[in-house]
Amino acid sequence: MFSTLKAFFRADILHEFDNPFGFLSPYLFVGLNITLFYSLHQWVQPVQQDLFSFFVQGWSLFLVTHRGLEKFVREIRREMSAGTLEMGWASGVSTFSLLGGIALWPFINGFLQMGLAMILGGILTHGVVLHLFGIHFWIAATLGILLYFLIGLVIGSQILMTRRGNSVVTFLSYLGLVLSGVFFPVTALPQWLQFFSSWFPLTHLLKIARGESWLNDPAGIIIFTFLILSGLLGMGLLRYAFWRIRRDGTLAYFASHPT
């Protein structure tokens, strides 16, 4: 399994550096957003450090979860088009190991973008925001990476069966960015939007990250429920997707290979 992860990680790194601007542009976007929001808060009110800190926490967690998920799903589509998945299945590598290898770089990339947001936020506030990234934040980030990987398995199964699914992730990311409390507290939303907000995992992860809730509180229970359901659904759909594409002929050559 580790050799599979290493191979995918190396291939993804080489692919990223084939287009240096494409590799650097997400990091430039992170830096631009942090700088613009800091300037905006400074313009709106001379002392807006608390609101800016609120944004830096939310944006950082969004980067490591939703950005990681978006890239993970794109990589599944790319590897499928390149035939890498079929080659892996033919060589006896398990589906879970293959997708784990594909997910490695996307979530590391999201983690690096999160680190950049934290560092820039710390520089702009002379280190004030850095104390917010304590144990609560890192537990939320760890749970978020695991959860969004499992959600990626669910969406990846759809991509394996239909060759589509990227638009779903983009749509959910934009909704999560607006409704989950990244830019402003969820309580600022109308009641009916707060109801929809509660269906986004990021909403509850941010409550944990900001110390508003803990693992034995409703937010923690909801996250663990999401983890269990996403894990069961993701693994079940992966098996079904593999069976279906093999039945439909996509993997007819490897029909004797076990799932």
Give the per-residue pLDDT at 257. Answer: 43
Better pLDDT: 33 or 60: 60
The reply to whether 34 falls in a domain is: yes
The reply to whether 76 falls in a domain is: yes
Indicate the pTM of the whole model: 0.82
Structural domain including 53 reads 2-254
Q: 111-120 in b/e burial notation, b at 16+ Cβ within 10 A?
A: bebbebbbeb
User: What does the alpha-carbon distance between residue 188 and residue 168 come to, in Å, rounded to a whole number?
Assistant: 26
- pLDDT tops 80 at residue 167: no
Least confident stretch, 58-72, 75-89, 125-139, 194-208: 75-89
Least confident stretch, 92-96, 147-151, 167-171, 176-180: 92-96
Domain count, the chain: 1
The reply to whether 259 falls in a domain is: no
Give the per-residue pLDDT at 31. Answer: 81
pLDDT class of 222 with cuts at 50, 70, 90: very high
